Amino acid sequence: MFFRSRKPGVNVATVRSGRKRLRRLLGLPLVATAATPMYGGQAVIEGVMMRSPSFWSVAVRKPNGELAEVSRPVDSLMKRHLLFRLPVIRGVMALGESLAIGFRALAISTEYAAEGGEEEESIEIGRWAITLMFVFAIVFALGLFKVGPAAVTRLAFPNLSNNVFVLVEGALRVTVLIAYMALVSLLPDIRRLWAYHGAEHKVINAFEANAELTPEKVKPYSVIHPRCGTAFLLWVMVIAILVYWVIGLIFGHLSMLWLIVSRIVMLFPIAGLAYELIRFAGKHRSNWILKVLLAPGLWLQRLTTREPALDQIEVSLAAFKRVYELETARAAEPQTAAMARAIDVVA
Protein backbone atom coordinates (compact mmCIF):
# COMPACT_ATOMS: atom_id res chain seq x y z
CA MET A 1 0.00 0.00 0.00
CA PHE A 2 1.36 3.48 -0.78
CA PHE A 3 0.33 6.88 0.67
CA ARG A 4 1.32 10.53 0.60
CA SER A 5 0.78 12.96 3.42
CA ARG A 6 -0.79 16.33 2.70
CA LYS A 7 1.61 18.37 4.74
CA PRO A 8 3.12 21.09 2.50
CA GLY A 9 6.73 20.90 1.37
CA VAL A 10 9.18 23.81 1.59
CA ASN A 11 11.24 25.01 -1.36
CA VAL A 12 14.76 25.82 -0.27
CA ALA A 13 16.32 26.74 -3.61
CA THR A 14 15.52 27.52 -7.22
CA VAL A 15 16.81 26.34 -10.59
CA ARG A 16 16.92 27.85 -14.03
CA SER A 17 13.55 28.16 -15.75
CA GLY A 18 14.51 25.85 -18.63
CA ARG A 19 15.60 23.10 -16.30
CA LYS A 20 12.55 23.72 -14.15
CA ARG A 21 10.22 23.23 -17.12
CA LEU A 22 12.04 20.04 -18.08
CA ARG A 23 11.69 18.59 -14.61
CA ARG A 24 8.02 19.48 -14.51
CA LEU A 25 7.57 17.77 -17.86
CA LEU A 26 9.16 14.62 -16.50
CA GLY A 27 7.10 14.81 -13.33
CA LEU A 28 10.24 14.87 -11.20
CA PRO A 29 10.93 16.88 -8.04
CA LEU A 30 13.38 19.75 -7.99
CA VAL A 31 16.78 18.71 -6.74
CA ALA A 32 16.75 21.34 -4.01
CA THR A 33 13.25 20.79 -2.69
CA ALA A 34 12.39 19.61 0.78
CA ALA A 35 9.74 17.28 -0.61
CA THR A 36 6.77 16.05 1.34
CA PRO A 37 7.71 12.53 2.49
CA MET A 38 5.59 9.59 1.50
CA TYR A 39 4.59 6.85 3.93
CA GLY A 40 3.54 3.34 3.05
CA GLY A 41 2.65 0.22 4.95
CA GLN A 42 2.12 -3.49 4.90
CA ALA A 43 0.49 -5.94 7.26
CA VAL A 44 2.77 -8.72 8.52
CA ILE A 45 2.36 -11.61 10.95
CA GLU A 46 0.95 -10.09 14.16
CA GLY A 47 2.20 -6.68 13.16
CA VAL A 48 2.64 -3.87 10.66
CA MET A 49 5.55 -2.58 8.62
CA MET A 50 5.66 1.13 7.85
CA ARG A 51 8.16 2.86 5.61
CA SER A 52 9.18 6.30 4.44
CA PRO A 53 11.63 7.28 1.68
CA SER A 54 14.62 6.72 3.96
CA PHE A 55 13.54 4.23 6.64
CA TRP A 56 11.30 1.29 7.40
CA SER A 57 10.09 -0.03 10.73
CA VAL A 58 8.18 -3.15 11.71
CA ALA A 59 6.29 -3.52 14.99
CA VAL A 60 5.10 -6.95 16.15
CA ARG A 61 2.98 -8.15 19.06
CA LYS A 62 4.97 -10.95 20.72
CA PRO A 63 3.26 -13.96 22.37
CA ASN A 64 3.84 -12.44 25.82
CA GLY A 65 1.93 -9.31 24.78
CA GLU A 66 4.94 -7.03 24.50
CA LEU A 67 5.70 -4.96 21.39
CA ALA A 68 8.86 -5.73 19.46
CA GLU A 69 10.21 -3.20 17.00
CA VAL A 70 12.92 -3.26 14.34
CA SER A 71 13.84 -0.32 12.13
CA ARG A 72 16.29 -0.07 9.26
CA PRO A 73 17.44 2.59 6.76
CA VAL A 74 16.43 2.41 3.09
CA ASP A 75 19.15 2.88 0.49
CA SER A 76 16.98 3.61 -2.53
CA LEU A 77 18.44 3.66 -6.03
CA MET A 78 15.83 6.27 -6.92
CA LYS A 79 17.62 8.77 -4.70
CA ARG A 80 20.89 8.39 -6.56
CA HIS A 81 19.92 7.98 -10.20
CA LEU A 82 17.68 10.22 -12.30
CA LEU A 83 16.79 7.33 -14.63
CA PHE A 84 15.05 5.43 -11.84
CA ARG A 85 12.85 8.43 -11.05
CA LEU A 86 11.40 8.73 -14.54
CA PRO A 87 7.65 8.06 -14.88
CA VAL A 88 6.73 4.37 -15.24
CA ILE A 89 10.31 3.31 -14.37
CA ARG A 90 9.91 4.75 -10.86
CA GLY A 91 6.81 2.61 -10.38
CA VAL A 92 8.71 -0.57 -11.20
CA MET A 93 11.57 0.47 -8.90
CA ALA A 94 9.23 1.41 -6.04
CA LEU A 95 7.38 -1.88 -6.37
CA GLY A 96 10.62 -3.88 -6.33
CA GLU A 97 11.95 -2.05 -3.29
CA SER A 98 8.65 -2.50 -1.51
CA LEU A 99 8.63 -6.25 -2.15
CA ALA A 100 12.21 -6.64 -0.91
CA ILE A 101 11.51 -4.68 2.29
CA GLY A 102 8.21 -6.50 2.74
CA PHE A 103 9.89 -9.90 2.69
CA ARG A 104 12.43 -8.82 5.31
CA ALA A 105 9.67 -7.41 7.52
CA LEU A 106 7.57 -10.54 7.09
CA ALA A 107 10.47 -12.78 8.07
CA ILE A 108 11.17 -10.69 11.17
CA SER A 109 7.53 -10.65 12.21
CA THR A 110 7.21 -14.41 11.74
CA GLU A 111 10.14 -15.07 14.08
CA TYR A 112 8.88 -12.67 16.73
CA ALA A 113 5.29 -13.89 16.58
CA ALA A 114 6.28 -17.55 16.72
CA GLU A 115 9.16 -17.50 19.18
CA GLY A 116 9.22 -14.08 20.84
CA GLY A 117 12.90 -13.61 20.03
CA GLU A 118 14.66 -10.99 22.08
CA GLU A 119 17.72 -10.18 20.00
CA GLU A 120 17.29 -8.29 16.75
CA GLU A 121 20.36 -9.82 15.17
CA SER A 122 19.05 -13.36 15.74
CA ILE A 123 16.00 -12.74 13.61
CA GLU A 124 17.66 -11.30 10.52
CA ILE A 125 17.53 -13.73 7.62
CA GLY A 126 20.24 -13.98 5.00
CA ARG A 127 20.28 -12.32 1.60
CA TRP A 128 19.97 -15.67 -0.18
CA ALA A 129 16.91 -16.64 1.84
CA ILE A 130 15.23 -13.33 0.97
CA THR A 131 16.15 -13.83 -2.69
CA LEU A 132 14.65 -17.32 -2.76
CA MET A 133 11.46 -16.13 -1.09
CA PHE A 134 11.24 -13.26 -3.57
CA VAL A 135 11.75 -15.52 -6.59
CA PHE A 136 9.21 -18.08 -5.36
CA ALA A 137 6.57 -15.41 -4.77
CA ILE A 138 7.12 -13.83 -8.19
CA VAL A 139 6.96 -17.21 -9.98
CA PHE A 140 3.79 -18.15 -8.09
CA ALA A 141 2.11 -14.82 -8.90
CA LEU A 142 3.12 -14.98 -12.56
CA GLY A 143 1.83 -18.52 -12.91
CA LEU A 144 -1.48 -17.91 -11.16
CA PHE A 145 -2.40 -14.42 -12.36
CA LYS A 146 -0.51 -13.85 -15.62
CA VAL A 147 0.60 -16.97 -17.49
CA GLY A 148 -2.17 -19.25 -16.21
CA PRO A 149 -5.17 -17.24 -17.48
CA ALA A 150 -3.51 -16.64 -20.86
CA ALA A 151 -2.62 -20.30 -21.36
CA VAL A 152 -6.02 -21.58 -20.21
CA THR A 153 -7.86 -19.16 -22.50
CA ARG A 154 -5.72 -20.16 -25.50
CA LEU A 155 -6.16 -23.89 -24.82
CA ALA A 156 -9.91 -23.59 -24.24
CA PHE A 157 -10.63 -21.17 -27.09
CA PRO A 158 -7.81 -21.48 -29.68
CA ASN A 159 -9.68 -19.67 -32.46
CA LEU A 160 -10.83 -16.51 -30.70
CA SER A 161 -10.15 -13.18 -32.36
CA ASN A 162 -7.70 -10.84 -30.65
CA ASN A 163 -10.46 -8.54 -29.37
CA VAL A 164 -12.43 -11.34 -27.76
CA PHE A 165 -9.34 -13.21 -26.52
CA VAL A 166 -7.98 -10.34 -24.42
CA LEU A 167 -11.41 -9.72 -22.90
CA VAL A 168 -11.90 -13.38 -21.96
CA GLU A 169 -8.34 -13.62 -20.65
CA GLY A 170 -8.74 -10.41 -18.65
CA ALA A 171 -12.07 -11.51 -17.17
CA LEU A 172 -10.54 -14.84 -16.16
CA ARG A 173 -7.56 -13.08 -14.58
CA VAL A 174 -9.74 -10.77 -12.48
CA THR A 175 -11.95 -13.72 -11.50
CA VAL A 176 -8.92 -15.69 -10.32
CA LEU A 177 -7.70 -12.71 -8.27
CA ILE A 178 -11.05 -12.19 -6.55
CA ALA A 179 -11.53 -15.91 -5.96
CA TYR A 180 -8.04 -16.22 -4.50
CA MET A 181 -8.60 -13.32 -2.11
CA ALA A 182 -11.99 -14.66 -1.07
CA LEU A 183 -10.67 -18.16 -0.44
CA VAL A 184 -7.64 -17.15 1.61
CA SER A 185 -9.90 -14.84 3.64
CA LEU A 186 -11.59 -17.96 5.01
CA LEU A 187 -8.42 -18.80 6.96
CA PRO A 188 -8.44 -17.42 10.52
CA ASP A 189 -4.79 -16.35 10.33
CA ILE A 190 -5.42 -14.44 7.10
CA ARG A 191 -8.45 -12.70 8.58
CA ARG A 192 -6.24 -11.53 11.44
CA LEU A 193 -3.65 -10.36 8.91
CA TRP A 194 -6.38 -8.39 7.11
CA ALA A 195 -7.24 -6.73 10.43
CA TYR A 196 -3.67 -5.48 10.68
CA HIS A 197 -4.05 -4.27 7.10
CA GLY A 198 -7.10 -2.31 8.23
CA ALA A 199 -5.12 -0.92 11.18
CA GLU A 200 -2.42 0.28 8.81
CA HIS A 201 -4.98 2.11 6.66
CA LYS A 202 -6.62 3.70 9.68
CA VAL A 203 -3.32 5.12 10.89
CA ILE A 204 -2.44 6.55 7.48
CA ASN A 205 -5.92 8.03 7.06
CA ALA A 206 -5.71 9.60 10.52
CA PHE A 207 -2.24 10.97 9.84
CA GLU A 208 -3.34 12.52 6.55
CA ALA A 209 -6.28 14.11 8.38
CA ASN A 210 -3.88 15.58 10.98
CA ALA A 211 -5.69 13.68 13.73
CA GLU A 212 -4.23 12.83 17.12
CA LEU A 213 -2.39 9.54 16.75
CA THR A 214 -3.78 7.47 19.60
CA PRO A 215 -5.64 4.15 19.24
CA GLU A 216 -8.93 5.70 20.35
CA LYS A 217 -8.64 8.67 17.98
CA VAL A 218 -7.54 6.52 15.05
CA LYS A 219 -10.26 3.90 15.54
CA PRO A 220 -13.10 5.83 13.73
CA TYR A 221 -11.12 6.24 10.50
CA SER A 222 -11.75 4.07 7.46
CA VAL A 223 -9.99 0.80 6.69
CA ILE A 224 -10.16 1.80 3.00
CA HIS A 225 -7.58 3.94 1.23
CA PRO A 226 -7.52 4.88 -2.49
CA ARG A 227 -3.81 4.11 -2.88
CA CYS A 228 -3.93 0.63 -1.43
CA GLY A 229 -1.94 -2.12 -3.13
CA THR A 230 -5.15 -4.07 -3.67
CA ALA A 231 -6.41 -1.34 -5.98
CA PHE A 232 -3.00 -1.35 -7.65
CA LEU A 233 -3.32 -5.07 -8.45
CA LEU A 234 -6.74 -4.56 -9.98
CA TRP A 235 -5.50 -1.75 -12.18
CA VAL A 236 -2.55 -3.85 -13.31
CA MET A 237 -5.06 -6.34 -14.68
CA VAL A 238 -7.27 -3.71 -16.29
CA ILE A 239 -4.35 -1.97 -18.02
CA ALA A 240 -3.04 -5.38 -19.11
CA ILE A 241 -6.17 -5.87 -21.23
CA LEU A 242 -5.39 -2.70 -23.20
CA VAL A 243 -1.69 -3.49 -23.55
CA TYR A 244 -2.26 -7.07 -24.70
CA TRP A 245 -4.93 -5.89 -27.13
CA VAL A 246 -2.36 -3.58 -28.75
CA ILE A 247 0.20 -6.40 -28.88
CA GLY A 248 -2.35 -8.59 -30.62
CA LEU A 249 -3.05 -5.88 -33.20
CA ILE A 250 0.65 -5.46 -33.93
CA PHE A 251 1.84 -9.08 -33.94
CA GLY A 252 -1.36 -10.95 -34.72
CA HIS A 253 -2.04 -14.47 -33.44
CA LEU A 254 0.76 -15.47 -31.04
CA SER A 255 1.98 -19.00 -30.50
CA MET A 256 1.68 -20.39 -26.98
CA LEU A 257 5.37 -19.71 -26.32
CA TRP A 258 5.25 -16.07 -27.40
CA LEU A 259 1.93 -15.60 -25.64
CA ILE A 260 3.55 -16.63 -22.35
CA VAL A 261 6.68 -14.55 -23.02
CA SER A 262 4.59 -11.45 -23.74
CA ARG A 263 2.67 -11.85 -20.47
CA ILE A 264 5.89 -12.06 -18.48
CA VAL A 265 7.90 -9.35 -20.24
CA MET A 266 5.09 -6.79 -20.31
CA LEU A 267 4.41 -7.15 -16.58
CA PHE A 268 6.96 -4.46 -15.73
CA PRO A 269 5.71 -1.62 -17.98
CA ILE A 270 2.12 -2.51 -17.08
CA ALA A 271 2.94 -2.28 -13.37
CA GLY A 272 4.65 1.06 -14.00
CA LEU A 273 1.62 2.44 -15.84
CA ALA A 274 -0.75 1.23 -13.11
CA TYR A 275 1.45 2.88 -10.51
CA GLU A 276 1.33 6.22 -12.34
CA LEU A 277 -2.46 6.02 -12.52
CA ILE A 278 -2.84 5.29 -8.81
CA ARG A 279 -0.31 7.99 -8.00
CA PHE A 280 -2.16 10.56 -10.10
CA ALA A 281 -5.54 9.55 -8.71
CA GLY A 282 -4.23 9.89 -5.17
CA LYS A 283 -3.41 13.54 -5.84
CA HIS A 284 -6.84 14.30 -7.35
CA ARG A 285 -9.24 12.43 -5.11
CA SER A 286 -11.95 15.07 -5.50
CA ASN A 287 -12.29 14.47 -9.25
CA TRP A 288 -15.54 12.55 -9.83
CA ILE A 289 -14.20 10.74 -12.88
CA LEU A 290 -11.28 9.39 -10.89
CA LYS A 291 -13.65 8.45 -8.08
CA VAL A 292 -15.59 6.29 -10.51
CA LEU A 293 -12.39 4.73 -11.86
CA LEU A 294 -11.10 4.02 -8.34
CA ALA A 295 -14.39 2.59 -7.05
CA PRO A 296 -13.73 -1.06 -8.05
CA GLY A 297 -10.37 -0.98 -6.28
CA LEU A 298 -12.01 0.41 -3.14
CA TRP A 299 -14.67 -2.28 -3.23
CA LEU A 300 -12.01 -4.98 -3.64
CA GLN A 301 -10.32 -3.76 -0.46
CA ARG A 302 -13.30 -5.11 1.46
CA LEU A 303 -11.76 -8.54 0.86
CA THR A 304 -8.30 -7.61 2.15
CA THR A 305 -9.14 -5.46 5.18
CA ARG A 306 -10.98 -6.10 8.43
CA GLU A 307 -11.92 -3.84 11.33
CA PRO A 308 -8.97 -3.99 13.77
CA ALA A 309 -9.01 -4.08 17.56
CA LEU A 310 -7.42 -1.28 19.58
CA ASP A 311 -4.35 -3.39 20.36
CA GLN A 312 -3.78 -3.94 16.63
CA ILE A 313 -4.05 -0.21 15.99
CA GLU A 314 -1.50 0.28 18.77
CA VAL A 315 0.95 -1.94 16.90
CA SER A 316 0.39 -0.01 13.66
CA LEU A 317 0.91 3.28 15.47
CA ALA A 318 4.17 2.06 16.97
CA ALA A 319 5.56 1.21 13.53
CA PHE A 320 4.39 4.49 12.01
CA LYS A 321 5.59 6.74 14.82
CA ARG A 322 9.04 5.19 14.74
CA VAL A 323 9.51 5.65 11.00
CA TYR A 324 7.99 9.15 11.16
CA GLU A 325 10.44 10.16 13.90
CA LEU A 326 13.40 8.82 11.91
CA GLU A 327 12.30 10.56 8.71
CA THR A 328 11.60 13.85 10.50
CA ALA A 329 14.99 13.79 12.22
CA ARG A 330 16.72 13.09 8.91
CA ALA A 331 14.83 15.90 7.15
CA ALA A 332 15.98 18.33 9.84
CA GLU A 333 19.65 17.73 9.02
CA PRO A 334 21.04 20.63 6.93
CA GLN A 335 22.80 18.36 4.42
CA THR A 336 19.61 16.37 3.96
CA ALA A 337 17.42 19.42 3.38
CA ALA A 338 19.78 20.62 0.68
CA MET A 339 19.71 17.31 -1.21
CA ALA A 340 16.11 16.18 -0.59
CA ARG A 341 14.43 14.21 -3.38
CA ALA A 342 10.83 13.08 -3.49
CA ILE A 343 10.71 9.27 -3.57
CA ASP A 344 7.54 7.37 -4.31
CA VAL A 345 6.84 4.63 -1.81
CA VAL A 346 5.00 1.38 -2.48
CA ALA A 347 4.37 -1.05 0.33
In one-letter notation, the amino acid at residue 59 is: A
Q: How confident is the model at residue 113 (pLDDT cuts 50, 70, 90)?
A: confident
Q: What is the mean pLDDT of the chain?
A: 81
Q: What's residue 77's pLDDT?
A: 78
Between 264 and 114, whose confidence is greater? Answer: 264
Q: How many CB atoms lie within 10 A of CB 41?
A: 31
Write out pLDDT tens, residues 252-299. 889 999 999 999 999 889 989 988 887 777 677 677 777 777 788 888
How does 277-290 read in b/e, with b if 16+ C-beta sit within 10 Å? bbbebbeeeeeeeb
Residue 278 maps to a domain:
yes
Residue 103 maps to a domain:
yes
Residue 155 has pLDDT above 90, yes or no: yes
Write out pLDDT tens, residues 211-258. 999 999 999 999 998 778 888 888 888 899 999 999 999 998 899 999
Q: How confident is the model at residue 141 (pLDDT cuts 50, 70, 90)?
A: confident
94-108, 199-213, 240-254: range with lowest mean pLDDT? 94-108
Residue 342 has pLDDT above 60, yes or no: no
Residue 346 maps to a domain:
no
- Residue 105: which domain range? 2-338
Residue 207 maps to a domain:
yes
Residue 17 maps to a domain:
yes
Crossing angle for the helix pair 267-283 and 229-251, nearest 10 degrees?
Answer: 130
> What's the whole-number mean pLDDT along residues 32-50?
78
Q: How many CB atoms lie within 10 A of CB 342?
A: 20
- 330: Cβ–Cβ under 8 A, 6 or more apart, which residues? 54, 55, 336
Residue 347 maps to a domain:
no
Residue 150 has pLDDT above 50, yes or no: yes
Is 0.75 surpassed by the pTM of this model? yes
Residue 87 maps to a domain:
yes
Q: Report the number of distinct structural domains present in the chain.
A: 1
- 228: Cβ–Cβ under 8 A, 6 or more apart, which residues? 1, 201, 297, 301, 304
Residue 31 maps to a domain:
yes
Between 120 and 321, whose confidence is greater? Answer: 321
Cα angle 108, 177, 44; round to 5: 15
